[in-house]
Amino acid sequence: MEWLWTWKGKCFGYRDGQDLWTYDGKHVGKFYDNEVYGRDGSYLGEVMNEKFLIRNKAKSNYRKSSFAPWARRGAYAKYANYAGYAMYAGHEDFFDPSSF
């Protein structure tokens, strides 16, 4: 299990194998290398700097296979937030975990 934060530094959840989970136990994505896709197959974002999630606007139309999410897991206490990074041109912050 590898904990992940949004680019602006908010604790999002964790990667378990090829699956992305929110800290409160929702299965929200599948990884293909460092890119993550939602249950409908749409591009959600990618991992940069080993543990931060960010969205590349140029990839917003990328698609992969859809999937049925796993059942909800027990929640974990979320880790502290970070200060975050300055945004790269052509990118935006990853989704808030409460948006899923």
- CA torsion 26→30→35→41, rounded to 10°? -100
Q: CA 57, CA 19: separation in Å to the nearest integer?
A: 22
Please tell me the predicted confidence (pLDDT) of residue 49. 93
- Report the length, in residues, of the chain: 100
Please tell me the predicted confidence (pLDDT) of residue 29. 98
Q: CA 93, CA 59: separation in Å to the nearest integer?
A: 14
Q: Mind giving me the DSSP string for 16-73?
A: ETTEEEETTS-EEEEEETTEEE-TTSBEEEEEETTTEEEEEGGGTT-B----PPPPPP
Whole-structure pTM over 0.75, yes or no? yes
How confident is the prediction along the chain (100 residues), in pLDDT tens digits per residue? Answer: 999 999 999 999 999 999 999 999 999 999 999 999 999 999 999 999 999 999 999 999 999 999 999 999 999 998 999 988 999 999 999 999 999 9
**How far is C-alpha 25 from the geometric centre of its chain's CA atoms?**
13
Structural domain spans, the chain: 2-99
Please tell me the predicted confidence (pLDDT) of residue 84. 87
